[in-house]
Amino acid sequence: MSKQIRAVLAEDQAMVLGALAALLEIEKDIAVVARARNGREAMTLVAQHEPDVLISDIEMPEMSGLTLAAEVHGRYPRVHIVILTTFARAGYLRRAMAAGAQGYMLKDRPAAELAECVRRVCRGLRVVDPELAAEAWTQEPDPLSERERQILWRAGEGKSGAEIAVDLHLSEGTVRNYLSEAINKLGAANRIEAARLARSKGWL
Amino acid sequence: MSKQIRAVLAEDQAMVLGALAALLEIEKDIAVVARARNGREAMTLVAQHEPDVLISDIEMPEMSGLTLAAEVHGRYPRVHIVILTTFARAGYLRRAMAAGAQGYMLKDRPAAELAECVRRVCRGLRVVDPELAAEAWTQEPDPLSERERQILWRAGEGKSGAEIAVDLHLSEGTVRNYLSEAINKLGAANRIEAARLARSKGWL
DNA sequence: AAGAACCGCTGACATTTGTCATGCGGCGGG
DNA sequence: CCCGCCGCATGACAAATGTCAGCGGTTCTT
Q: Residue B64 in contact with residue B87, Cβ under 8 Å? A: no
- Residue-level pLDDT at B1: 54
Q: Which nucleotides of C are covered by protein (CB under 7 A)?
A: 7-12, 16-21
Whether the pLDDT of residue A136 is over 90: the answer is no
Domain range list for chain B: 5-138, 146-201
- The residue whose CA lies nearest the C1' of nucleotide D6 is A145
Domain covering B5-138 assigned CATH 3.40.120.10 in the classification: no
Query: What average pLDDT does the segment B88-112 reach?
Result: 92
3-state secondary structure A29-90: CEEEEEEECCHHHHHHHHHHHCCCEEEECCCCCCCCHHHHHHHHHHHCCCCEEEEEECCCCH
Give yes or no for A133 touching B (CB within 8 A): no
CA pair distance A30, A5, nearest whole angstrom: 5
Q: Crossing angle of helices A112-122/A14-25, nearest 10°?
A: 70
Query: In the CATH scheme, what is the code of domain A146-201?
Result: 1.10.10.10
**Sheet strand arrangement including B5-10:** B30-36, B5-10, B53-56, B80-85, B103-106, B127-128
CA pair distance B196, B168, nearest whole angstrom: 21
Give yes or no for A20 touching B (CB within 8 A): yes
Query: In the CATH scheme, what is the code of domain A5-137?
Result: 3.40.50.2300
pLDDT category at B151 given cuts 50, 70, 90 is very high
Say yes or no: do domains B5-138 and B146-201 share a fold. no
Kindly report the average pLDDT of chain A as a whole number: 92
Whether the pLDDT of residue A1 is over 70: the answer is no
